[in-house]
């Protein structure tokens, strides 16, 4: 018997520490993918490990109708660190569930059905979130999907304005498109999105599943543009790899009293991990470290003479567009240089390392990139 969804790589991982993973044969790998950004404070951070151990010993699970300290603390912590006005927190198990909840909450609060999403966008793999995802390769096998989704070009404020009308429940945007190839939105575009949704009475939803928790150099990527959404979704690194997502909403969304639920909403163990993770991110000012090391890394890559078309991103969310296939490059980095990274399409190498890395790790990566591309 074996799994059938994931194609397994020829590297069996045994343990992790900081920015490194260790294979069963003892080989050390520099982890510049962090399993899609889920370990912002590094692998097995002692503060997170201690929090999880302590919670497991006291209580592993009780459903969300019963208040428990770890969950209540996370509600308060997320409301405190979220953009202003987002004081209402729904906890779930993943990013796609967080976006699914956001879709439902927006339709419930507005009484409308239309959702505007973007080309190249990715919002998850459950049916509602998948319907807002652009690429056919993710969707074709599962049609028919949810109706009422209209796609517009990412970054085109006037096309967005034309699409948003009195039938629109929400606009879903990633401040930086991740799966779509690491494409940052400029502040003018996000401000225009805020204007047109307010004028139409629609919700502005920022999908910060990948960009949040300090990755782009601020705690939330939308802080750079000073645009405050009605709903923000987060997951990935929020609990250092344990399954947790959150949908954080303005009062007018929450006050509409959506009928929604989940058996595993805000389990105490994952909440304990999230509380510790957020503490480390904030107390150690990892967003600033991500900004500084990310700038150093991007500049170092740009200074090479390698066959690279573009380097783009913010903080430690970086895309390197190359002239050869990204999957072949990823293989060579892993097998020849013991460096792990990710693709973002056929020609983009995606870097999402732990936010704890330093310039020495950046230098190690650049040396490895030169070794396989030079």
Please write the tens of the pLDDT for every residue from 37-73: 999 999 999 999 999 999 999 999 999 999 999 999 9
- Nearest Cα neighbor of 314 from 218, 229, 238, 179 is 218
Contact 18, 356 (CB under 8 A): yes
- Domain chopping of the chain, boundaries: 13-43+285-373, 46-283
**Binding-site residues for pyridoxal 5'-phosphate:** 95-96, 122, 207-210, 263
Choice between 218 and 5, residue whose per-residue pLDDT is larger: 218
pTM of the predicted structure, to 2 decimals: 0.96
**Binding-site residues for substrate:** 125, 262
pLDDT band at 9, cuts 50/70/90?
Answer: confident
State whether residue 150 is helix, strand or coil: strand
The domain made up of 46-283 has a fold known as 3.40.640
CATH of 13-43+285-373, one of 3.90.1150.10, 1.10.490.130, 3.30.450.40, 3.40.50.300: 3.90.1150.10
Q: Is residue 3's pLDDT more than 80? A: no
Write the DSSP assignment of 305-372 as a string of letters.
Answer: -SSEEEEEEETTEEEEEESS-HHHHHHHHHHHH-EE-EESSSSEEEE---TT--HHHHHHHHHHHHHH
Q: What is the pLDDT of residues 243-296, one digit of tens each?
A: 999 999 999 999 999 999 999 999 999 999 999 999 999 999 999 999 999 999
Q: Is residue 374's pLDDT more than 90? A: no
Q: What is the pLDDT of residues 65-114, one digit of tens each?
A: 999 999 999 999 999 999 999 999 999 999 999 999 999 999 999 999 99
At 171, which helix (H) or strand (E)? strand 168-173
Q: Where are the alpha helices (DSSP H) in 82-125?
A: 95-110
pLDDT band at 326, cuts 50/70/90?
Answer: confident
Q: Which token pair is 202?
A: 């629609």
pLDDT band at 229, cuts 50/70/90?
Answer: very high
**Binding-site residues:** 95-96, 122, 125, 207-210, 262-263
């Amino acid at each position: 018997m074996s799994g059938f969804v994931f194609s397994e790589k020829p590297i069996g991982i045994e343990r992790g520490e900081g920015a490194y993973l260790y294979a069963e044969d003892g080989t050390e790998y520099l982890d510049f993918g962090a399993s899609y950004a889920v370990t912002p404070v590094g692998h097995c951070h002692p503060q997170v490990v201690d929090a999880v151990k302590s919670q497991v010993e006291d209580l592993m699970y009780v459903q969300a109708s019963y208040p428990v300290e770890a969950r209540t603390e996370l509600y308060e912590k997320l409301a405190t660190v979220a953009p202003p006005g987002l004081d209402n927190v729904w906890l779930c198990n993943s990013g796609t569930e967080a976006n699914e909840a956001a879709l439902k909450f927006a339709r419930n609060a507005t009484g409308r059905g239309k959702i505007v999403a973007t080309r190249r966008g990715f919002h998850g793999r459950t049916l509602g979130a998948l319907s807002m995802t652009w690429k056919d390769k993710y969707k074709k096998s599962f049609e028919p999907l949810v109706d009422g989704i209209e796609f517009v070009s990412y970054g085109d404020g006037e096309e967005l304005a034309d699409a948003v009308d009195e039938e629109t429940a929400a606009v879903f945007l990633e401040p930086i498109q991740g799966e779509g190839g690491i494409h940052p939105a400029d502040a003018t575009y996000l401000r225009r999105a805020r204007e047109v949704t307010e004028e139409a009475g629609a919700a502005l939803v920022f999908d910060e599943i990948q960009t949040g928790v300090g990755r782009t150099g601020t705690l939330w990527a939308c802080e750079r543009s000073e645009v405050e959404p009605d709903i923000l979704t987060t997951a990935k690194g929020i609990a250092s790899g344990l399954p947790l997502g959150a949908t954080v909403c303005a009062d007018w969304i929450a006050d509409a009293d959506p009928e929604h639920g989940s058996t595993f909403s805000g389990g105490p163990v994952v909440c304990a991990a999230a509380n510790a993770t957020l503490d480390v991110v904030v107390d150690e000012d990892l967003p600033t470290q991500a900004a500084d090391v990310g700038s150093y890394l991007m500049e170092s890559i740009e200074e090479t003479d390698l066959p690279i078309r573009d380097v783009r991103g913010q903080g430690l969310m970086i895309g390197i567009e190359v002239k050869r296939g990204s999957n072949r490059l990823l293989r060579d980095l892993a097998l020849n240089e013991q460096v792990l990274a990710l693709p973002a399409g056929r020609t983009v190498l995606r870097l999402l390392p732990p936010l704890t890395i330093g310039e020495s790790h950046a230098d190690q990566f650049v040396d490895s990139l030169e070794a396989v591309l030079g």
